[in-house]
Structure 1
Amino acid sequence: MDKSLVCNASSKDNDPFGELKIFSGKASKSLASEIGAKLGIELAQSETKTFSEGNVFVRVLENVRGRDVFIIQGTEYPVNDNFMELLFWIDAFRRASATQVTAVIPFFSYAKGDKKDEPRVSIRARVCADAIEAAGADRVLTMDLHSPQIQGFFKIPVDHLYAMPVLVDYFRKKQIPDLVVAAPDVGFGKQAYRYAQMMHTNVVFGNKVRHSHDEKAEMLDIVGQVEGKNVLIVDDFTISGGTLIEMAKACKERGALDVYACVSHGVFSKGSAEKIARSPIKELVLTDTIGHRFEPLAPCCKVISVAGLFAEAIQSIHRRESVSRLFDF
């Protein structure tokens, strides 16, 4: 983390862009606090209430007129409640005359609904993008969208961060010998290739098939050599851990040594911790983009922080500087 990042960003004096204010929704309190600490500013005061019938109420407890506002709110479980809360925050800041409102969405759950690949279905990511714009957001800051083209669903600027530098740095320090990077399917192949480039190694691909939404993935084959190698499986997110587990099993069956895995977003549905604990995965590394967990993580799981990346991006957006250096792998 660049020491120059810690600054008096909260000071109104001599700031041509307006005072920087960071707010947190219910979903991202821990990550937001870390981001504030990196920037050297305290989270601004706000409150959220959920009434007995499920109605969500938000209130800004500080003056934001003329301020540059960032609202940090992920959309993990409960997804719809958290998404609606995000919209209400954006609307509240806009009506309170904030100069600029940036929606910081560490995990955008509906990114999975990026296409019409079945008859008579909604493109859910596009609907969410329209709603965020309609609520009044000026820009969006997010991390590891399931499909990068979702940025095109928005008519406002989208800054799309990647957890890759943080994850790669962690595994570089472990100095694992004879390591290959593995993509569980061709859809993540391009990103897996970038991981492999950064780690100066080769990449292999899984041939995965899933016959329905609620059916676990079946690993048909692996393209590439894993025999006698340590394997690092990379993916953008996991819900049940099923794809990672099946890929790990396939690698072990083909003579792999130790199998590691890393994901940007560890969603983890109920029962996933037990399955991961029984799997061949030696260590599963994930980031802190998601705060809510259905259950404690499996012993092999390790959480590392991406607060530094978000803090640098927020500082750059506030100062009207380029964010592209954060994409330079």
Structure 2
Amino acid sequence: MEEQKITKIPFGQLGIIVHDSCKGLGKKVDDYIVNRRREEFASSCSEYHVDEIKDSYIIDSKIVRFANGEAKAQLKESIRGKDIYILADIGNYNVTYNMFGIENRMSPDDHFQDIKRLISAIAGKARRIHVIMPLLYEGRQDKRNSRESLDCAMALQELENLGVENIFTFDAHETRVQNAIPQTGFESLHSTYQIIKAMHRVDDQICFDKDEMMVISPDTGAMDRAIYYASVLGLDVGLFYKRRDYKKIVDGRNPIIQHEYMGAEVAGKDILIVDDMIASGGSVFEIARELKKKNARNIYVVVSFTFFTNGIEKMNEYYEKGYITKLFSTNMTYIPQKFKDADWFEEVDMSKLISLLIDTVNYDDSVSPLLDATNKIKKIVGK
């Protein structure tokens, strides 16, 4: 048999800069790439593959914090001519630093500033720079209402001005924010396939059948996502509409008066509530309670990012009462151990998809197959 020959050539030697906020996920991503390239290039004798087989592609880097809170980024190895991917979780509030003897938790603003510091430390020596920010910085502030800042658009323009060629995120709150950087690559990937796969693995009794399950959107903003889930799974879709009090503003938002349901009968059916994130969890709790009043069976919540900014006590209560059966969420932002230990929580690992994304872009292949997992989902449903 003729020896297999691999002819594709990377755009540049791969280098991954993993910010302190993303160490765990970054290690998993790196392991996937190392193992994949060892297997792929095992039978290749091409000279241009020799340098591509490494024990790790992570660039040794460090954020040095001064006692007054200021900081600088350091790269401890050469990045000249490399194809650099910066991986950071701007939502990781578990990273701390010391300022004037006081321990402070890093905010999304601190993390984003560190991303810019790392780009500045590269100093134009890399062949190409990409930023992988699973949780999009200021993604919730994507449009202006009255006299408000446009934080997400400004942040993207800052990255563009610093020479970033591609920005990758997951389940962006509003993908049209990319209009702020028309000359820079912007892709919002989805976790749908990985979540459906996790649901199938965790509970083989879940039946993705039109007579047994429905998809529910918790608000109008998540309707596109709910429609996608419903279409690939062949299910009906329903919607909860938030009636707000537009005379008041609480914590920067108009408070919700009531959730109104629009859709088919939910009695006796399993429910799939889909959204991009859970912040405090208030809306999900109220919707789950309303669905149970309508005699829904099992309620599964699937999101890309979970915060529970007010704690998980109410989630524990709703699980014990049987209002919510399971919560499926990805590991693309920080998850406290108490979440992972809870019976109601199932973590969805996204490291393989991120590693495929890095490999694909490094070899200048199309990312379109990674953006659409419809056929893969239908195979799971078919099983």
User: What's the TM-score, normalizing by structure 1?
Assistant: 0.89
Q: Are 2:195 and 1:160 equivalent residues in the alignment?
A: no
Please show how residues 156-305 of structure 1 align to structure 2 within 5 Å. 156-173=184-201, 174=203, 175-177=205-207, 178-211=212-245, 212-214=249-251, 215=255, 218-271=258-311, 273-279=312-318, 280-291=323-334, 293=336, 296=339, 298-305=342-349
Q: Which of residues 67, 70, 82 is equivalent to 1:67?
A: 82
- 2:175 counterpart residue number: 148
Task: Give 1:268 shift.
Answer: 2.4
- Whether the 8 Å contact between 2:10 and 2:364 is mirrored in structure 1 is no
C-alpha distance in structure 1 between counterparts of 2:335 and 2:162, whole Å: 25
Gap runs ≥5 in structure 1: 1-7, 9-13
Question: CA offsets per residue over residues 205-239 of structure 1, 9 Å max, x none?
Answer: 11123444534673123422211111110000111
Q: Are 2:145 and 1:130 equivalent residues in the alignment?
A: no
**Which secondary structure state, in structure 2, belongs to the residue aligned with residue 111 of structure 1?**
coil
Q: One-letter code of the match for 1:184?
A: P
Q: One-letter code of the match for 1:252?
A: K
Q: Which of residues 55, 59, 63 is equivalent to 1:44?
A: 59
- Whether the 8 Å contact between 2:112 and 2:137 is mirrored in structure 1 is no
Q: C-alpha root-mean-square deviation of aligned residues, in Å?
A: 2.1
C-alpha distance in structure 2 between counterparts of 1:153 and 1:168, whole Å: 32
- 1:25 counterpart residue number: 19
Question: CA offsets per residue over residues 275-328 of structure 1, 9 Å max, x none?
Answer: 111122111010011026496454411111111111111111110000001122
- Whether the 8 Å contact between 1:217 and 1:242 is mirrored in structure 2 is no
C-alpha distance in structure 2 between counterparts of 1:184 and 1:45, whole Å: 42
- Whether the 8 Å contact between 2:306 and 2:335 is mirrored in structure 1 is no
C-alpha distance in structure 2 between counterparts of 1:69 and 1:87, whole Å: 14
Please show how residues 48-59 of structure 1 align to structure 2 within 5 Å. 48-59=63-74
Task: Give 1:171 shift.
Answer: 2.4
User: What's the TM-score, normalizing by structure 2?
Assistant: 0.77
- Whether the 8 Å contact between 1:64 and 1:96 is mirrored in structure 2 is no
Segment drifting more, 163-172 vs 252-261: 163-172
Segment drifting more, 228-237 vs 203-212: 203-212
Task: Give 1:16 shift.
Answer: 4.7
Please show how residues 55-134 of structure 1 align to structure 2 within 5 Å. 55-76=70-91, 77=93, 78-93=107-122, 95=123, 97-117=125-145, 119-134=146-161
Task: Give 1:22 shift.
Answer: 0.8
Task: Give 1:176 shift.
Answer: 1.5
Specify whether residues 275 and 114 from structure 1 end up closer, same or farther in structure 2 by C-alpha distance, changes over 3 A only: same
Q: Percent identity?
A: 25
C-alpha distance in structure 2 between counterparts of 1:313 and 1:213, whole Å: 39
Specify whether residues 59 and 96 from structure 1 end up closer, same or farther in structure 2 by C-alpha distance, changes over 3 A only: farther
- Which of the two has higher C-alpha Rg? 2
- 1:4 counterpart residue number: none
**Which secondary structure state, in structure 2, belongs to the residue aligned with residue 160 of structure 1?**
strand
Segment drifting more, 217-226 vs 244-253: 217-226
Question: CA offsets per residue over residues 136-182 of structure 1, 9 Å max, x none?
Answer: 21111111100111222223111221111111222244341311111
- Whether the 8 Å contact between 1:46 and 1:58 is mirrored in structure 2 is yes
Q: One-letter code of the match for 2:358?
A: I
Q: One-letter code of the match for 2:130?
A: T
Segment drifting more, 212-221 vs 304-313: 212-221
